[in-house]
Chains A and B, each alone.
Chain A
Amino acid sequence: MQSLTNKPGSAITQSLRGMALSHPDTIKVHFDPDFVERLAPARSGKVAVISGSGSGHEPLPIGYVGLGMLDAACPGPIFTSPSPVQLLAAVHSVDHGGGVLFVVKNYAGGVLNTELTIEIALQEGIDARYVLVNDDVSIPKVANRRGLGASALACKIAGAAAESGYTLAAAEEVTRRAIASSRSMGVGTNVNTLPRNGPNDNLADDSIELGVGIHGEPGEVRSVSKGMPEIVDLIVHPILHDLPFASGDRVLLLISGMGGTPPLELYLFSEAIHELLAAHHLRVERQLIGNYLTCLGRGGYTITLMRLDDELLQLWDAPVHTPVLHW
């Protein structure tokens, strides 16, 4: 079968239409400029939470639109930030008078477009701010760290805070804390469905690529002939040591496939990671496993740990009704 993603422009529009048809009780989709908006009414004065992202990472961010999470999400072209025109249209549509909080992955284009959007919104008298997601421990310099799994977690925390009446400043603060408490690592297994060819296209069977990004950014090729426990060690140790997580910490564990990894493999991985976390006396209080942020159809996964405190746990557990998360 021909890959639908070979025609990015029309694929995005058609996929958005399909998404609206699939979740008619949760979201509505606007075109030209493109953004997805929640259907659940919001009370006046509620902080609006918006996230934009290049397409190709679904369900991030559009699958997280709905009650208790995002008020709107803006999908850009494949792996390319949405424009300020899209972001501003979303602002105008979902501002309820309580200000706007953007959740932004740390990539140059997204930051540039969000900062400009905020400047225009402020000139229009709309209070707007952004939080930067930079949880990728594979990048040594913190300022350069990319946004990975914490992007989805931050949208949940921000959305729950906004829904439960936090002010803009308070929602921003708790979302920053959620991000600061999160660390992630991406690992690639194969790249056969990526639109762009890179230097590590043909990984040997006993090799992984450590520290890959979600746009096909290459990582470091490592031979892992000893199987899952060795893979998990390579991925999880940098995460644990970076924050650092300590014995007894309560954590939220997110295991996300990158789009081309079968659930069977994710659960293989889950077994090994649970053993390792137990050995470090970390208490996995909440977890998600599945496709939560992807890289089109590449093989691989991202692991995210967020250290929980009472407030973060309460916000995580708060009701949510989106195409992807609902409880």
Chain B
Amino acid sequence: MAQEITTKQLRKWLLVYAARIIENEDHLTKLDTAIGDADHGVNMRRGMGKLQERLQVERQSEDISAFLRSVAMTLISGVGGAAGPLYGTFFLRAATSPTNGSSIDLPQLTQMFRYGLDGLQQRGKAQADDKTMIDTIQPAVEAMEAAVAAHQSAAVVLAAARQAAHLGMKHTIEIEARKGRASYLGPHSIGHQDPGATSAYFLFETAAEVLTITGAD
């Protein structure tokens, strides 16, 4: 039987994500101090605070598209900087992917991530190996697509996404930034993990923790 993921579970996922980002504020700040303008931790923490407020007043049953759109608007206004519009675009496009109303099956969840990724690439004009959040999200989405094509369970699909995202995040240490503020450093950006790729990794880490539990609250 197909596993369905509900709006309630997506809400739980993003609450855990928000908490994870807040726990890692100093880590993100440290990464962004090395190759950026040191504001990624503060901006993300502020945005996640807004997201928590938003998710806590959520109605019990809601259309997934409307839910994701509201997450997008919260992130755009709450995070600010460049990360706000980029995360906002990710969720705004994810909101346009097909659903069954208040639930999605695993292929639809995968497609939702794909829509978000495609929107992000279009908006940020970054490719793989530019040392951005794309380096985390693209391999994760591709891993999900491969696992879904092989008819794997949600647990396997999301574990594959987490693993690929983690490898992608670590890969950003080895490469030179070609997009964003870090690109001004040229080869000096090598040796540092990208802060955007790191905050994006937590999306998949927390999805693997939360979205695989059937009937999770």
Tell which of B77, B84, B85 has the most Cβ of chain A within 10 Å.
B85
Q: Which of A85, A116, A120 contacts B123 (CB 8 A)?
A: A116
A113 vs B83: C-alpha distance when bound (angstroms): 11
**A112-B124, A116-B123 in contact; A84/B85 too (CB < 8 A)?**
yes
For the side of the interface on B, what is the size category? 10 to 19
| Beta-carbon nearest neighbor of B85 in chain A | A116
* 10 CB < 8 A contacts A-B: A83-B76, A83-B85, A84-B84, A85-B77, A112-B86, A112-B123, A116-B76, A119-B89, A119-B92, A120-B92
Q: Is the CB of A112 within 8 A of B85?
A: yes
A interface bracket (residues with beta carbon within 8 Å of B):
10 to 19
How many angstroms from the CA of A139 to the CA of B123 in the assembled complex? 23
Hey, which chain B residues are within 8 Å of A123, CB to CB?
Answer: 92
When distances are taken between beta carbons in the complex, the residues of chain A under 8 Å from B86 are: 112
Given A109-B82, A116-B76, A84 and B88 contact (CB-CB distance below 8 Å): yes
**Given contacts A115-B123, A116-B89, A116-B123, are A83 and B82 in contact (CB under 8 A)?**
no
List of 8 A-B pairs having minimum Cβ-Cβ separation, nearest first: A85-B77, A116-B85, A84-B76, A112-B85, A113-B85, A116-B89, A84-B85, A83-B80
A100-120 vs B, CB cutoff 8 Å, 1 = contact: the mask equals: 000000000100110110011
> Footprint of B on A, CB under 8 Å?
83-85, 109, 112-113, 115-116, 119-120, 123
- Chain B 77-107 interface mask (CB, 8 Å, partner A; 1/0): 1001010111011001000000000000000
- Chain B residues whose CB sits within 8 angstroms of the CB of A84 once the complex forms: 76-77, 84-85, 88
Q: Once bound together, how far apart are the Cα atoms of A84 and B85, in whole Å?
A: 7
Q: Distance (Å) between the CB of B103 and the closest chain A CB?
A: 23
Residues of the A chain whose Cβ atoms lie less than 8 Å from the Cβ of B84: 83-84
Chain A residues closer than 8 Å to B80, beta-carbon distance? 83
- 20 additional contacts, CB 8 Å, given A83-B85, A112-B85, A116-B88? A83-B77, A83-B84, A84-B76, A84-B77, A84-B84, A84-B85, A84-B88, A85-B76, A85-B77, A109-B82, A112-B82, A112-B86, A112-B124, A113-B85, A115-B123, A116-B76, A116-B92, A119-B89, A119-B92, A123-B92
